[in-house]
Structure 1
Amino acid sequence: MQQHALPVPGAAHPLAVRRYLPPAGTPPRGSVVIGAAFGVPQTFYAPFAQWLAGQGWAVSTFDYRGQGASLHGPMRAVQANLHDWARDYDAVIAHAAEALPGRPVLLVGHSLGAQLPGLLEQKHRVAGLLSVAAGSGYWRQNAPRLRRLMPFFWHVLVPVSVRLCGYFPGRRLRAVGDLPAGVARQWRRWCLHPRYSVGAEGEAARQAYGEVRFPIHAWSMQDDEMMTLAGTEALLALYTHAPRQLEHLAPQDVGARRIGHFGFFREGFRDTLWPRAARQLQQWCDAPAIAPSSPPPVARTTAA
C-alpha cells in the first residue's frame, strides 16, 4: 500500500490517498477508485481494497477534504461543499488514470460515492460504476425507521448544530460523522428536494448527470437500514443516458444473516459478494460499454 498527499486545485491542503497495488510482477488489470460514503474514512474500505488488489487491480481510496486523514486543523475551519468533494473525486480519478495510462478506470461508489459521479468533470475517464447501497437521499425515500427521524434531523438538529458549532458535529451526536458546514448545508438542501441533487442544484446538475455515459450496476440491499429500493431507483433515474442495471440483494442470497448499508465492505463477504464485484469490474474491463444514442431503460437482474 502506498500513501500519497495529492494536491487538488482550489483545496487548501492535499488529499490523503492510499493506493493498493497487485503483487509484484502482476500487471494491473486496470484501476479502481473507491468513493466513500458520508462520514466514512477510507480506512473502512482497506480490507476490500487489499483483497481487490490481490485480484490484480490497482485500487485507490481517499478521504474527501475535511474528512479522515484529509482533515487539517479544526473542522469548523474547513471550507468545502459537495461540489468540492466531487473535485476531490476527480483528482483521484485523474491520478489513477495517469498512473496506468491505457487501462480502464472503474469506480466502486458506496452511498455518496455513487451520487457524486454525476457531478464529475472526469466522466470521460470512467469505464463503469458499481454502486453499493446508494440511492437518492431524499428523506421520504429513506428506510422507514430513519424516515421518522428526518423532519427533526433536517429542520432542527442540522441547522441548529451547524450554527452553534460551525460544522455538523455528527460524531458527538452519533449521526453520520463530523461534516464541514458547507457540506452539511448543501446535503440538507439535496435531501429536502424530491429530485435530490438535480432538483436542488437545477439545470446545470441535470445536464451534468445526463452527460454520464459509463455503465452503472447498482446493488440495493434488502435489509439496508438507511436506503430503500425506491431510493436506489430514484438515483439511477438521474443518470438519464447511462446504461443502468439494478440488482436487489437479500442476505439469504449469499448465505448471510445481514448485509445492511455497510456490510458489503466487511471481510465476511470476501468469499461471496466480493468475487461478484470483481466479476462485474472485469466485465467492464473486457468489454467497455459504448454510449447509447437514446436513454436506455433500467435493466433489472435477480441475485444468483
Structure 2
Amino acid sequence: MISGLSNKEIQVLAKDGFKLGANSFLSEDSKNLVFLISSATGVKQNYYEDFANWLAEKGYPTFTFDYRGIGKSRPNHLKGLSAKMHEWGKLDLEGMINYVKEQFPNKKLIVIGHSVGGQLFGLTPACQLVDGFIGVGSQMGYWKMWPVSHWPKLLFFWKILIPVLNNLYGYFPAKKIGLFENLPKGVAREWQKWASNSNYLFKYLPEEKMNYEKITKPFLSFSFSDDEFAPKKAVDKLVGYYKNANIKQIHITPASLGVKKLGHFAFFRKKYKENLWQMLLGWVEKNEGL
C-alpha cells in the first residue's frame, strides 16, 4: 500500500441494525469529497478495491460495502436469511450513506452505483444527503429491454432457473452455475418478480417513483455498447426515472478505447485507470461545486 493510505475493514449498521461488512480507503491528503461504491448484484466489494485505492491515492476518501447476504455481510448459512432486494437500497445503502456523512459531515458525497447499485439509489431517503451520483451500467432489468435474440435465455433464467433452484436450495446458488455470488432466497425472488414486469421495481414499489423524481443533483451515467447485462435501451429507461437530476450520459464502445471488449465489469479494472477512471474523475472535478 502506498505511504499515507490506509485501508481498514469496518462494520456498519444498516437502517434496521443489520451488520454490514465494509471497507474504508483513506488518505492523509484528503480532498473535500468522499465516494461510496454500491455494488452490482452478487458482486463482493473487493472487486472494487483497486478503484477505491486509486480514488484514495487521488485524495478522495472512499468506502465499499457488501449488501446483506453477500461477502462480509453474509451469515454462515444463506438458507433462512430474511432479505429482499429493495432492502439493499432502503436499509443497507441508507445505513452506509448515513455512516459516511457522520464520518465526514463537512465533505461532499458522491455515490457510485454499479448495475443494481444505480437502481437502488433512489430507494433510499438518504439519497437527499448525496451531492452527486454516478451509474456504471445501471439499468432497468425488465427482460424485454434486451435484444430479441437474448429472450429465450432470459426467459429460462427468470422463469425457470431462479424459481426452481431457489426452492430446491432455499437460496439462489448462482456460484454453482458459474454466475456470481449466491443470493438470499428473498432477494432472488424479488429480483425475478421485478424483471418480469415492464415497470420493473416501480410496479411493486410505486410510491418510490417520487423519491427518484426528487433527485436534482448531478448524475453521470456510463453505458457500454457491448454490455450484455445492461443494453443502452435499459440504461436509458432507468435514467429517465431520475428525470429531474442534472444528467450527463456517456456511451462507450470498445473501439474508442482501442480494446476488443468492455462489457459489464471492465470499468473497475485497473487497466482502465488512464481512460475510464480518469473520465469519471474529470466529470467530478468539473462539477467540483456539485
Aligned counterparts of 2:99 and 2:281: Cα–Cα separation in 1: 21
In structure 2, the partner of 1:110 is: 114
In structure 2, the partner of 1:3 is: 9
Residue 6 of structure 1 contacts residue 15 of structure 1 at CA under 8 Å; is this kept in 2? yes
Q: Which residue identity lines up with residue 240 of structure 2 in the other structure? A: A
Q: Does 1:92 align with 2:102?
A: no
- 1:1-304 aligned at under 5 Å gives the runs 1-11=7-17, 13-22=18-27, 24=28, 26-86=29-89, 87-142=91-146, 146-202=150-206, 204-284=207-287, 286-288=288-290
Aligned counterparts of 1:150 and 1:76: Cα–Cα separation in 2: 25
Residue 123 of structure 2 contacts residue 211 of structure 2 at CA under 8 Å; is this kept in 1? yes
Q: SS in structure 2 opposite 1:272?
A: helix
Q: Which residue identity lines up with residue 270 of structure 1 in the other structure? A: K
Deviations along 1:42-85, whole A, 9 cap, x unmatched? 00000000011101100000000110011012011221112221
Q: Which residue identity lines up with residue 43 of structure 1 in the other structure? A: N
Aligned counterparts of 1:100 and 1:218: Cα–Cα separation in 2: 25
Aligned counterparts of 2:82 and 2:264: Cα–Cα separation in 1: 28
Task: Give ranges in structure 2 of 5+ residues lacking alignment.
Answer: 1-6
Q: SS in structure 1 opposite 2:36?
A: strand
Q: Which residue identity lines up with residue 261 of structure 2 in the other structure? A: R
1:41 Cα offset (Å): 0.2
Aligned counterparts of 1:255 and 1:239: Cα–Cα separation in 2: 32
1:146 Cα offset (Å): 4.2
Aligned counterparts of 2:150 and 2:24: Cα–Cα separation in 1: 35
1:145 Cα offset (Å): 5.4
Residue 114 of structure 2 contacts residue 138 of structure 2 at CA under 8 Å; is this kept in 1? yes
Aligned counterparts of 1:272 and 1:230: Cα–Cα separation in 2: 24
Residue 67 of structure 1 contacts residue 179 of structure 1 at CA under 8 Å; is this kept in 2? yes
Q: 1:255 to 1:29 in 2, by over 3 A?
A: farther
Percent identity between the aligned chains? Answer: 29
1:134 Cα offset (Å): 1.4
Q: SS in structure 2 opposite 1:16?
A: strand
Aligned counterparts of 1:8 and 1:36: Cα–Cα separation in 2: 15
1:112 Cα offset (Å): 0.6
Aligned counterparts of 2:220 and 2:47: Cα–Cα separation in 1: 22
Q: 1:146 to 1:59 in 2, by over 3 A?
A: farther
Residue 223 of structure 1 contacts residue 250 of structure 1 at CA under 8 Å; is this kept in 2? yes
1:217 Cα offset (Å): 0.9
Aligned counterparts of 2:102 and 2:136: Cα–Cα separation in 1: 26
1:29 Cα offset (Å): 2.8
1:242 Cα offset (Å): 1.7
Aligned counterparts of 1:123 and 1:131: Cα–Cα separation in 2: 14
Aligned residues: 283
Q: SS in structure 2 opposite 1:183?
A: helix
Aligned counterparts of 1:82 and 1:45: Cα–Cα separation in 2: 20
Q: 1:276 to 1:76 in 2, by over 3 A?
A: same
Aligned counterparts of 2:36 and 2:269: Cα–Cα separation in 1: 17
Q: 1:9 to 1:229 in 2, by over 3 A?
A: closer
Aligned counterparts of 1:57 and 1:146: Cα–Cα separation in 2: 40
Q: CA RMSD in A?
A: 1.5
Q: 1:37 to 1:145 in 2, by over 3 A?
A: farther
Q: SS in structure 2 opposite 1:252?
A: helix
